[in-house]
Amino acid sequence: MLPQQPISRPPAMIARDFRRIEKGTLLGFFSLDLSSGLSIREVPYHHKNDRYWIQLPSRPQLNTDGQQRVDPTSGKKLYSPIIEIRDPARRANFQRGALSALDKLFRERPA
């Protein structure tokens, strides 16, 4: 097991290729390049009230007939994560870094 390193500042990230698609809380999708060389595409960007957040890509949950499952209580379509950050502190750190990269993109090229 690797020793845990303190979580201090958001990792270096570059946001690019923002596409505006507004639906519900969704504002659009973008690509996120990480300093590790990993590129995450189709990252959803959301807004509700005074809160902005990104969501890591996910895929629809399908039933045995191949139809997308729906939550019986809310009626919302269900999705399963493809990528997840299980540690809450690291997830919050990643969120801050991604939003900061997206803010920089918008300053350089308004959406």
Count Cα neighbours of 79 within 13 Å in the Cβ-side half-sphere: 10
Tens of pLDDT, residue by residue over 28-75, are: 999 999 998 899 999 999 999 999 999 999 999 999 999 999 999 999
Write phi, then psi, for 69 (nearest 5 degrees): -70, 150
May I ask the CATH architecture of the domain 13-108? 2-Layer Sandwich (3.30)
- pLDDT above 90 for 1: no
Rounded to two decimals, the pTM is 0.78
- pLDDT of the residue at 19: 96
- pLDDT of the residue at 11: 55
| Cα torsion through 22, 26, 29, 31, rounded to 10 | 150
Model confidence band, residue 4 (pLDDT cutoffs 50, 70, 90): low
* Extents of the domains making up the chain: 13-108
